[in-house]
Amino acid sequence: MKVHVSTYGCSASQASAEIMTATIRDRGHSLVSEKDADVLVINTCTVKYTTEQKILHKIREAGELGKEVVVSGCMPEVQLDDILARNPEAHILGVNSVSGIGQVLDSLDSSGENVRLFMKKPEGFQNVPRIRFNPNIHICQLSQGCNYSCAYCIVSIARGKLRSFEPEEIFADIKNAVSEGCREIWLTSQDNGQYGTDKSVLLPELLDMICGIPGDFKVRVGMMNPFSVIPILDDLLDSFENEKVYKLLHLPIQSASDSVLEKMNRYHGIEEANDVIRKFRERFDDLTLFTDIIVGFPGEGEEDFRKSLEWVKEFRPDKVNISRYTPRPLTKALDFRQIDSRIIVRRSNELHDACESIKLNSKNSLVGREFNVFISKEAKQRGMMARTDSYLPVVIPECGPDSGLGPGVSCRVSIYEATPGYFLGKIIS
């Protein structure tokens, strides 16, 4: 069969798509463009309403074109009726059922009957073949699910309670990826800070294990909630000292107003989040800070929004993922009184403008500085993409195919220009 895989959402979803793609290839099927496919595998995300609507449109349209449709990822767990309303003939693969894609395709080959496969426990996420989106980057999912229940979050409902994968399996998975040539390891999950709270090995110890793997590679630790970092903060800071770990902290505050955080059921106050950031910055001078902020959560007044705006101006994060709140099915906030969408748009635009101004000023201040960088992959246009120790992206145009400088090589560069998406650097040693 001719199969196409399209995927939406987080890096964990991306990793699932890589695994399914390899299974499809190894079963002897052809991987083709979407327009040429007989079977369209749609790996879904349901975090945002706009993404959900785009996916539902694709599910319906593909069915109308006569294609077989396999829907995987988070949406089947919480919006099965919506999927089947758009395409009653769609085949369903639950979020834990990545390893079942071969079974679904075999069924299409033989009986052609509709398949709905939901596994209670996640299987086939580590130490399996994959076709990576980038051959130099390995995405390792540490766990499935979350033990908390933020009022706006549908993902914790879709993925269930926390199930941390065995540390020995994670270690073997990453060791194998490094042996295959991967030079950048992304650690992902719904909340990396929760890793191991259902086992005996917590995130700091796991990081120490991973950094003990021989080879030239770097580790990017993905998103961690403030309330999951606080209990492990001191040990986590020590683990981040390892030269293999990027000095990148992705800590979503969601709001700088304690009253909004309480209504969000976020399990932390803003000063607790601030304390985590300050301690990371005290330890690491060039720390890169990412955060997430939801604008227009029910009950957010103008003063609450101003607190988030002032927080951004004070803490000057390098990247802010701004989400305009939209109610999600099955969540606690679904029944809350909603804010006028015009107010949400105005606040979102104001916050976006402030973040862009801060980012531009911060970037321009780095022009002329020198950094040690680690080359991770080919750049989109020309040259190589490298990362500083704190994960800032630096394109080195002079690194051509014959330069001998490829993924896994370290060098020192001088930044000579800042663009909206990355820096341009020249090798000095």
Averaged confidence pLDDT in the chain = 95
Mean pLDDT along residues 382-394: 93
Mean pLDDT along residues 75-80: 96
DSSP secondary structure of 25-90: HHTTPEE--GGG-SEEEEEE--SSHHHHHHHHHHHHHHHHTT-EEEEEESHHHH-HHHHHHH-TT-
Domain boundaries, the chain: 2-117, 137-364, 370-427
- pLDDT score recorded for residue 186: 98
| pLDDT exceeds cutoff 90 at 190 | yes
pLDDT digits (tens, 9 = 90+) for 276-292: 999 999 999 999 999 99
pTM: 0.94
Give me the residue label for tokens 């075999």.
Answer: 106
Fold match flag (2-117 vs 370-427): no
- pLDDT score recorded for residue 421: 86
| pLDDT exceeds cutoff 80 at 359 | yes
Q: Is the dihedral of CA 335, 339, 344, 350 positive or negative?
A: negative
pLDDT digits (tens, 9 = 90+) for 191-231: 999 999 999 999 999 999 999 999 999 999 999 999 999 99
| Integer Cα distance of 257 and 192 in angstroms | 24
| pLDDT exceeds cutoff 90 at 67 | yes
Residue 382: pLDDT band with limits 50, 70, 90: confident
User: Are the CB atoms for 307 and 335 separated by under 8 Å?
Assistant: no
| Integer Cα distance of 151 and 251 in angstroms | 18
Residue 380: pLDDT band with limits 50, 70, 90: confident
User: Are the CB atoms for 390 and 420 separated by under 8 Å?
Assistant: no
| pLDDT exceeds cutoff 70 at 31 | yes
Is domain 2-117 given the CATH code 3.40.50.12160 in the classification? yes
Give me the residue label for tokens 């002329």.
Answer: 368
- pLDDT score recorded for residue 301: 98
Element (H, E) at 310: helix 302-315
Structure tokens at 269: 């106050």
Within 142-192, residue ranges assigned H as helices are: 155-159, 167-179
pLDDT digits (tens, 9 = 90+) for 81-92: 999 999 999 999
User: Which of residues 260 and 407 earns the better pLDDT score?
Assistant: 260
Query: 370-427: what fold?
Result: OB fold (Dihydrolipoamide Acetyltransferase, E2P) (2.40.50)
| pLDDT exceeds cutoff 90 at 349 | yes
Element (H, E) at 369: none
User: Are the CB atoms for 194 and 147 separated by under 8 Å?
Assistant: yes
- pLDDT score recorded for residue 112: 67
Residue 113: pLDDT band with limits 50, 70, 90: confident
Residue 376: pLDDT band with limits 50, 70, 90: confident
Q: What percent of the chain has pLDDT over 90?
A: 92
Mean pLDDT along residues 11-23: 97
- pLDDT score recorded for residue 114: 87
Q: Which CATH superfamily is domain 137-364 in?
A: tm_1862 like domain (3.80.30.20)
